[in-house]
Structure formats: structure tokens, C-alpha cells
Amino acid sequence: MKNKSLLTILAFLVLNISTTQAQEFSRAVMPYVSIQESVVAITNVKLIDGTGAPIRNNQTIIFTGENITAMGNSNEVSIPEGAKTIDGTGKTVIPGLVMLHEHIFYPKPFDGVFSVAQMTFTFPRLYLAGGVTTIRTAGSIEPQTDINIRKSIEAGRMLGPKMDLTGPFIERAGTPVPEVGVIESSQQGVEMVNYWSDRGINSFKVYQNITKEDLTQVVAAAHAKGKKVTGHICSVTYQEAAEIGIDNIEHGFFQSSDFVDDKVDNFCPAFKRGQALGELDLNSPKMKALMDLLIEKNVTITSTLPVFEPYTDREVVLGGGIDAMSPEIKESLIAGHTRRQGRDEASLAQFKKQMAWEKMFYEAGGKLAAGTDPTGAGRTVAGYANQRVVELFIEAGFTLVEAIKISSLNGAEYLERDAEVGSLVVGKKADLVLINGDLEADVANIRKMEIVFKNGVGFDSQKIFESMKGKVGMH
């Protein structure tokens, strides 16, 4: 009798543990879940762990529930009985990507006005399909929608990555994007920080026409809440922002107004900025001094190469996403792309120079993170563009190990989530991507993602991509 009740208790405990571990998914999500076993072993796989360590072959990685529980050479790691085993021969495992300049919106220009529209349904799931298990939204047009999306994903009702949410853009008048609100005083910027912080927003982003005083007050208010501030800046130079205490600057060095000789305080010299960057020598001591200051002030730079990618001999939608577009948008993107062929030699030279500056910053010890910015000309689409980021880092001269680390651990460190995600280490969350190919042999194999694991649950990447075809721009 005594033994029987003990057994009952044990059975109850076991059942209870297994039910609390397995996340439940809605009927909308379930068809895309391909692996949901409590113990999973991927064997004989090529491993890039995200820490910057050399690539290792013939590795086995085991995860139990949400966490990685064992890793090592396949002949040394024993596979627990009952584990779901996946043969990784000829395949590659990388950490789930952590990208910092993502948005849940897409451009919809009209009458010559740059406008954007929320992509509630397509973008979160495309990020996941593209191997991105954590995003920062880097500026929002519908913060309340973004908060609800995150709740739905966490509850298993929607497909998507872990989300670090950024508040609405903090901007003064001057940017003619109808979805971007404007503040009329620094105090209004502070009010935005306080209001959205209290509703679960994780960080803030200032925009192109703010003043130094705005930035000073916004940074102070955000830091008082334990939150960070990034910026797509212009009216304030990189140097001024670093000295004020900004945590992060977006778009590599593409937006730097530091080199405009007669720059007026708190004013964005949009045209002169491009001209000055164009004329600036690749090895300019002034650029070197700016990089040294950013490093000294611990400012992270987010690279967003896809949004600047030239047209000639490059894809219409970067990363191979043209079929994801709704028919009308697809047509207009192809027409625009055809029209622009052969017309971007100057921008190609700039693109290459910017790549070199990002690499220089990284080599000097600067903190470089990655993102896509799915706006611009509409060629940058969630998921596809995130894969393209890794390819572009290779084009920029980074090693594959560096490209992966910048796209995973560096972002996680900035978000202060690196205790849980960003690299593949025993004890961290099983956020990882199984690629059906040898990524070392050809970086383009990044497009052959097979299973994207988030908290140990495997999602069918190709099936998600397939399900979103023809929908981007509409939903």
C-alpha cells in the first residue's frame, strides 16, 4: 500500500514535469512544429557555436526540454535512451540568430511619400523561418500591436522569435513618414520613455531630427528605467551621441554626419552628409578617431548592410525572397529593379567602403552587431534578409565564425540575454538552426535552413517560408 502510493506520487511528478516542460501550441502553429520531443540529439554535425571558437566537425549536441544538456565529439557524447536522434551528417548547426535592427513593418510608399505598414502576420513567422530566434524591433509604428504579438508568440498562438521590443520612434518634425510621431519638447521624449517602459517596452530609439538636449534627457530617462537607447541619427553626430551616452547607433557608419565641415548644431545635413562620406578617405584619421571614441564610450554599432545593397547584378529581394511578395508588390519591385540596373556604380563604391569601415571598427575592438532593417526600397524582407546578412559579412571579409558571432552572440550580449541565448553552450536555451548543407563550403547554404529550434522545439523552416509566399506587403 505504502509502495503503491509512492509510485502514484512519482508518476504524478513525472507527468507533471513533462506537462510543464512541453509548450502547447495552437492549431495555427502546430502544423509547423516538426520536433517536440523532450530529449533531442543532433549527431555527426558541423558546429559553429557562436562564441568565435573554430568550426568543429562530427559534433553531437543534446538538449533536454528547453536547454542544451550535452555537447562534444560524437564518439564521446553518449545519447540518452529514448532521445529523438537527428543525423547531422553533411549538415551544419549554428546558434539561433539574434538580430537588432528588425521591424514588424514594411514600406508602402504612395504619392512620393515614404510610408510603412505593419506586417503583423508575415514578418514574425518569416523571422523564425529565417533562423532568427531573438529580435529587437528597433523602432515601432504600432507598439501596442508588437506587445500583443509577443504575448501571442509566448502563448504558442503565433509563430515567431523571442522579441525585445523598442518603443515608437522618438523624433522631431522633419521626417515626412506619416507613421512617425513628433515630439515638441525634450520632456515629451521623456514622457514616451516612461509611458512605454511601464507597458513592457524594452528599449528606445531616437531618430534623425532630435536635438542634443532631447537625446540627453531621453538617455537619462531610459537609463533610470534600466533600458538602453539606440539611434538612427543625423542632426546629432555620432561623436555627440557617444559623448551624451547613447548605447547603440544604427546603420554602421552610413548615417554619420560627423564629417560635414560646416555642420549646424541639431540640424540634419542630409545631402552634405552623403557627400562628405563619399569624399572621406577609407583610411581617414578622422574616421579612425571617431571609431576610437565609440569604442572608448562602449557604443555598439549595428550593421544593416541589406538595406543598402546595390541593385546591379544583385537580387530583387535579398536572400531569394521575391516569391514571398504579394503579386502587385512583386511586379513593382521587379520593375524598379530593372530600371535601376547599371545605375548604382557610385553606391556600390560607397557600399564597399562602408563594409570596410565596419570591419575596421570590429578589428579595432568595436562592438558590432547585426540587423536587416526591412524598409528602404522594399527589397529587404524579414527572414530572407537575415540570411543575407551572413552572406554580406562574408563579402565584407569577415570569417564565417566572425559572421555568425556578430549575428548571434554580439546581439545577445547587447540585449543582456547572453546568459540564455546567442551561443551554443551547455546550460543555455536550445535556440539553434540545423542547416541542410555545409556552411563552411558555401555560405549560400545559409538559405537551406531545415529546422529552427526555439527553446528546444523544432520548427520547419521551409514549410513556414512556403506558407508565406505571395503574402508579404498584404499581411
Interface residue list for Zn ion (CB under 5 A): 373
Give the nearest distance from C-beta 375 to Zn ion in angstroms: 6
DSSP assignment of 362-428, as one string?
A: HHTT--EEE---S-TTTT--TTHHHHHHHHHHHHTT--HHHHHHHHTHHHHHHTT-TTTSSS--TTS
For residues 324, 326, 330 and 336, what is the CA-based torsion angle, rounded to 10 degrees? Answer: -120
* Nearer residue to Zn ion within complex by CB, 135 or 183: 135
CA end-to-end distance (rounded Å), the chain = 60
* Nearer residue to Zn ion within complex by CB, 232 or 448: 232
* Nearer residue to Zn ion within complex by CB, 105 or 357: 105
Task: Give yes or no for a contact between 96 and 454, defined as CB atoms under 8 angstroms apart.
Answer: yes
Give the nearest distance from C-beta 143 to Zn ion in angstroms: 14
Task: Give yes or no for a contact between 291 and 285, defined as CB atoms under 8 angstroms apart.
Answer: no
| Measured distance CA(116)–CA(375) in Å, rounded | 8
Give the nearest distance from C-beta 195 to Zn ion in angstroms: 21
* Nearer residue to Zn ion within complex by CB, 373 or 402: 373
Task: Identify residue 236 by its one-letter amino acid code.
Answer: V
Give the nearest distance from C-beta 177 to Zn ion in angstroms: 11
* Nearer residue to Zn ion within complex by CB, 300 or 455: 300
| Measured distance CA(345)–CA(351) in Å, rounded | 10
* Nearer residue to Zn ion within complex by CB, 61 or 206: 206
| Measured distance CA(291)–CA(362) in Å, rounded | 9
Give the nearest distance from C-beta 229 to Zn ion in angstroms: 14
Give the nearest distance from C-beta 406 to Zn ion in angstroms: 18
DSSP state of 175: -
Task: Identify residue 263 by its one-letter amino acid code.
Answer: K
Give the nearest distance from C-beta 232 to Zn ion in angstroms: 6
- Angle at which helix 384-395 crosses helix 400-407, to 10 degrees, equals 140
| Measured distance CA(133)–CA(139) in Å, rounded | 18
Give the nearest distance from C-beta 128 to Zn ion in angstroms: 20
Give the nearest distance from C-beta 206 to Zn ion in angstroms: 12
Give the nearest distance from C-beta 101 to Zn ion in angstroms: 6
* Nearer residue to Zn ion within complex by CB, 44 or 115: 115
Distance of CA 161 to the CA centre of its chain: 10
Residue with nearest beta carbon to Zn ion:
373
* Nearer residue to Zn ion within complex by CB, 146 or 373: 373
* Among 23, 35, 17, 20, CA closest to 157: 23
Q: How far is CA 423 from CA 39, 79, 241, 427, in A?
A: 19, 21, 30, 11
* Nearer residue to Zn ion within complex by CB, 64 or 304: 304
Task: Give yes or no for a contact between 224 and 204, defined as CB atoms under 8 angstroms apart.
Answer: no
* Nearer residue to Zn ion within complex by CB, 171 or 373: 373
Which contiguous run of DSSP H or E holds residue 92?
Answer: strand 92-95
